[in-house]
Amino acid sequence: MVTRDEVKEKFNENASQYDQQREKLIPCFKDFYSIPVSVLETSKEEPAVLDIGAGTGLLTSFILKKFPKAKVTLIDLSEKMIEKARQRFKNYDNITYIVEDYTKYHFNKKFDMIVSSLSIHHLTDPEKRRLYDHIYGVLKTDGVFINADQVLGQTPFIESLYKNDWKNKIEHSGLTQEELKAAHERTKLDKMATLDMQLNWLKEIGFHDVDCIYKYFNFVVIFARKV
């Protein structure tokens, strides 16, 4: 079983190259990051936003273009990834940084929007389910949760299609052999669940308007609302 410390170590190692590799490692990069932001709507000028597993703050950087006065909290296990986020947002005074395990952290406020990208698939299924429950608890009424992540294929055959497509695309992306090897090593940290399982968990917890609003092989954007 992969431990949280192993996840932290791998992402600390990759922090300096993380952003520049994203477009090559995510074949649907533009849609994957733009669609979550496009469906985030609020009448508040300064919405409270929580980015779970925020890493270098890549997703938050897109959100701040739409909501420049948003009060954003970034939480991540990797101190080196958060350090990259601090550098990215050095000219902002509306960002809070937390270096903690978000599966155990207790937030003392509620949020209008909770987002996550490429992080929750590192949790076991029971951890995912508990996290979704916790997210529901710290989300304000009329708040939105969006998870841009990777999911497990519904069958072994479908999963093999997902893996082969990704492998073929990244091998022709211009990444070096060393970068490709590191990317494949990081997939050993994955503990993906199927899309259907996760949509059902969200509905059972009490979320409304639960849907997969974007899907490209195993890259998905999940939407849910608290009413």
Write out the residue range of the structural domain in which residue 50 sits.
Answer: 4-225
Q: What is the DSSP pairing of strand 48-52 with strand 95-99?
A: unpaired
Distances (CA, A) of 24 to 15, 152, 225: 16, 21, 31
Model confidence at 215: pLDDT above 70: yes
Residue 71 has pLDDT above 90, yes or no: yes
81, with CB counted inside 10 A (0-12, 13-18, 19+), is: buried
* Alpha carbons 145 and 139: distance in angstroms, whole number: 8
DSSP notation for 161-227: HHHHHHHHHHHTTT--HHHHHHHHHHGGG----BHHHHHHHHHHHT-EEEEEEEEETTEEEEEEE--
Domain of 196: which CATH number?
Answer: 3.40.50.150
Summary count for the chain: helices (H), strands (E): 9, 7
pLDDT reading at 10 higher than 60: no
Q: H or E segment at 32? A: helix 29-38
The predicted-structure confidence for 170-200, as pLDDT tens digits, reads as follows: 999 998 998 888 888 888 889 999 999 999 9
Tokens of 15: 């922090």
Q: Which of 78-82, 133-137, 176-180 has the highest mean pLDDT?
A: 133-137
* Average pLDDT over the chain, rounded to an integer: 93
pLDDT at 36 over 70: yes
**Which residues are bridge partners to 115 per DSSP?**
51, 146
Number of domains in the chain: 1
pLDDT band at 70 (very low <50, low <70, confident <90, very high): very high
DSSP code at position 152: B
Residue 17, SS3 per DSSP: coil
| Residues contacting 44, CB < 8 A, separation 6+ | 112
Rg of the chain on CA atoms, in Å: 17
Res. 124 pLDDT band, cuts 50 70 90: very high
What whole-number distance in Å separates Cα of residue 120 and Cα of residue 224?
15
CA of 26: how far to CAs of 72, 96, 137, 150, 182, in Å?
A: 25, 27, 31, 10, 15
**Whether pTM exceeds 0.75:** yes
Does residue 108 contact residue 138 with C-beta atoms inside 8 Å?
no
